[in-house]
Structure 1
Amino acid sequence: MSLFRRKMVASIGHDSEAQGYDAIVDLTRSLNTMSEYPRDTQEQTRRILLSLFPAWLPPAFKVMFSKPLPALSCRLNAWVTMLTCQWLMGPCKVNDVDLGNGTVATGQGVLVERCRYLEETGCASVCLNSCKVPTQEFFDKDMGLPLTMTPNYEDFSCQFSFGLSPRPQTKDDAFHTPCFAQCPIKRKHSAKELCPGAELV
């Protein structure tokens, strides 16, 4: 959490007066209101994710693992995600993934039972622009692994499916969901049905 906070502060340019997880939520909301363009938020978040790793690691992983051993790499990343990200997302468990072609990939998924990040930020556009899109792009472009994240805005669960390429945004239901009534960003922009940044890009 401390490392993630330091990287967010370095990217955003200021810290939060809050402590612990509340500071992460506060900084995330700041990140999502810095630009009116969702793409800017997505790219900035991806840079934050990259900054958490040594510069050599993602390209090395892509060459040494993702390309020659894609299934093993998907299972490895599922386990690493489950073991290292529960502080951010809440309880998780590794599960199987339906790749949509009649194949079920064993152990290539992670089910977040109730995403703490989504629940605490209370905003669908934060989920999309500071989590789903940049994380999918980080794994696909930087780690060499397709990833589809499927948030459920009714029960706050989220399914990570490694090895499954995401659908186009125009066909992804997550991008057509009005934000929550309690969303703090929406309350500041009540004239919009969707949060700023929730629109398709």
Structure 2
Amino acid sequence: MLDSLFLKKFNEIRVRHLGYRSPYEGWEAFVDSSFHEDRRFTDDRELARTVRASYVDFMGGPRTVRLLGRFARRFPRTATRLLTLLTPGLFRWLVGPMERTGKHELRITGCTFLGSTTPAICHRICKVPTEEYFTDTLSVPLTLTPDPRTTECRVEFTPYAPPKPGPGA
């Protein structure tokens, strides 16, 4: 039940950011809007901005996201550990069942998004924008490694490391 509420909320958020309401409901609406999003945005930066805006809204807005980023910068190992523990329960509705495979690693055992779309859409709408969002906005470097053949995806959170000062700094 919680999964269907999260999906409904995320679909409504995407309607606001995409300006497109799918004629379908539930998961089918999400997949349909993803195909629409892929066709509409030919510029990857614009697509990433739209995906990021949806993520920010879903996670409670800019203020909440800034607080989460500050927490991750201050307590990087704790943040990655918490994400590894919480993600399987909180995002099953979006990607399917997950299992922890390490301290900071997960495996999506059958990604419903990858299985419902295409490898290209997975790359453009999920992999690249999600990695950028977690790394740049939440300060938790994330690497997604999808396997289109098996629809599995490796998820690796890396504790935040502040940028090193450049020469002359």
Q: TM-score, normalised by structure 1?
A: 0.72
Equivalent position SS for 1:151: strand
Tell me what 1:31 maps to. 37
Tell me what 2:142 maps to. 147
2:32 and 2:85 map into 1 onto residues whose CA distance is 28
Given that residues 91 and 112 in structure 1 are in contact (C-alpha distance below 8 angstroms), is that contact kept between their aligned partners in structure 2?
yes
Q: 1:134 aligns with which of 117, 129, 134?
A: 129
Going by fraction, where is helix more abundant, 1 or 2?
2
Equivalent position SS for 2:85: helix
Shift of 1:93: 0.9
1:128 and 1:49 map into 2 onto residues whose CA distance is 16
Tell me what 2:114 maps to. 118
1:80 and 1:128 map into 2 onto residues whose CA distance is 23
Residue 24 (structure 2) pairs with residue 13 (structure 1): no
Shift of 1:164: 7.0
2:125 and 2:90 map into 1 onto residues whose CA distance is 18
1:95 partner amino acid: T
Given that residues 75 and 109 in structure 1 are in contact (C-alpha distance below 8 angstroms), is that contact kept between their aligned partners in structure 2?
no
2:149 and 2:20 map into 1 onto residues whose CA distance is 33
User: Quick one: percent identity of the two aligned structures?
Assistant: 24
Tell me what 1:186 maps to. none
2:112 partner amino acid: R
Equivalent position SS for 1:150: strand
Structure 2 gap ranges (5+): 1-6, 161-169
1:56 and 1:149 map into 2 onto residues whose CA distance is 26
Equivalent position SS for 2:51: helix
1:90 and 1:116 map into 2 onto residues whose CA distance is 5
Q: How many residues align?
A: 153
Structure 1 gap ranges (5+): 97-105, 166-201
Cα distance change of structure 1 residues 164 and 129 upon mapping to structure 2, 3 Å threshold: farther
Given that residues 111 and 160 in structure 1 are in contact (C-alpha distance below 8 angstroms), is that contact kept between their aligned partners in structure 2?
yes
1:76 and 1:109 map into 2 onto residues whose CA distance is 11
Tell me what 1:58 maps to. 65
Alignment RMSD, CA only?
1.5
1:110 and 1:162 map into 2 onto residues whose CA distance is 9
Q: TM-score, normalised by structure 2?
A: 0.85
Shift of 1:7: 0.7
Equivalent position SS for 2:74: coil
